[in-house]
Structure 1
């Protein structure tokens, strides 16, 4: 009505890893909400603005022997589904753009996530120590976990399944407590991001694992 539009859907990210013990898989369902205002609404840069919300938690893949891979909400959003399902669709105007979201909202399908749209992969050298978090290269899982570990697939689905809750906290029971004690998993990161060796990791917060931690 009056040019306001909104779209809602659930998207399921599934990560499969081949290990020496066989294929291990983890998945998580997140909720996406996109709202667009008409051009007459707002002033200046805010005219016709859109807002996006993402609720859910990271994918947890239990690799066995107290080793876990986490695929975070960081760098994972609305555009992940859009680029996966409609990579060649470039909207020429607002109506065409809205039509793409209409199709995306109505979809019930699964597809591989493009490599350039992979979220952030991390693990912990010690699952009980939040400061031991480190980046995992999706193209070289052996560097983090040893011989025989390879990424098999990363898929995204538009689904009617409910949002996943609590799986991350089962594996990381300290997550909420650490988030209340300090802003980042690794204590005392550099004040300036230009001084950080790996900003994605050094400034990583508990909320990147779950948007629902403090609700």
Structure 2
């Protein structure tokens, strides 16, 4: 299980994405006449200085790269991974999957491996209108290395490990100690009702006869999942929820969970009145 600190980290990351998205939105929504005035006022000077400016930029960037010992085109390893949850219920097996993209780069000057992920949480309808979510997070980037440790010769956060995972085939059970954080909303229409779910005791959240059968992972050519979470949780597109003062009024657990449902911030421009 992931500690409660994970939700706080997810909220901080999500807030940064919210801020960047809002800034982009504000820039895109500038009145046209302001943009045209800016273009007209700077056209002559821009044309006269374009060559010297670009020469200075290129030289500056080249100097930074040389001084930092960085590779501007680092070797990259990437793959799509499908996480599937299977749950036993009194009505039978409930199943849900989602595909995320993971990318790792060669070590930088500091000896770190830059990495990223994109996608959305895995969701499964356990019972009518009752859903279980497997959240995204730092574990998303490592789960393949850990799940396929046997196939790649041991867990290895290194170029050898990245390259080996990208070539793996087949489906494997995710080790229980590396399960993603599981949550549910007792009321799917209310983001305040988020609740952590114990993978060893789904009955506590969903009732008698509900158990987690397994969580599997597969390296796949399938496209990254998009749109499921937003379609299910309509309030993700509601500025009254996703922007202040509504956002700051949510419980911290709700904000943390919401921040780990998606790797990106929802586009709210079409939802603002």
With normalisation by structure 1, the TM-score equals 0.81
Instruction: Pick closer, same or farther for the CA change 1:90–1:119 going to 2, 3 Å.
Output: closer
User: Which residue of structure 2 aligns with residue 89 of structure 1?
Assistant: 154
1:61-140 counterparts in 2 under 5 A?
61-74=124-137, 76-86=139-149, 89=154, 91=156, 97-140=158-201
Over the aligned positions, Cα root-mean-square deviation in angstroms equals 2.3
Kindly indicate which of the two structures has a greater share of residues assigned to strand: 1
CA contact (8 A) 1:176 1:213 kept: no
Over 6 Å off, 4+ runs = none
CA contact (8 A) 1:179 1:205 kept: no
Q: Name which of 135, 145, 149 aligns with 2:206.
A: 145
CA contact (8 A) 2:155 2:161 kept: no
Larger Rg: 2
CA contact (8 A) 2:121 2:135 kept: yes
Kindly indicate which of the two structures has a greater share of residues assigned to helix: 2
Count of aligned positions: 192
Q: Spell out, residue by residue over 1:104-124, the C-alpha distance to the aligned partner (whole angstroms, 9 max, x if none).
A: 011122101011111111111
Aligned equivalents of 2:174 and 2:132: distance in 1?
A: 17
User: Which residue of structure 2 aligns with residue 18 of structure 1?
Assistant: 88
CA contact (8 A) 1:179 1:206 kept: no
Aligned equivalents of 2:257 and 2:179: distance in 1?
A: 19
User: Which residue of structure 1 aligns with residue 11 of structure 2?
Assistant: none
User: Which residue of structure 2 aligns with residue 198 of structure 1?
Assistant: none
CA contact (8 A) 2:192 2:251 kept: no
Q: Which moved more, 1:59-68 or 1:153-162?
A: 59-68
User: Which residue of structure 1 aligns with residue 242 of structure 2?
Assistant: 179
Unaligned residue ranges in structure 2 (runs of 5+): 1-69, 268-273
User: Which residue of structure 2 aligns with residue 214 of structure 1?
Assistant: 266
CA contact (8 A) 1:7 1:34 kept: yes
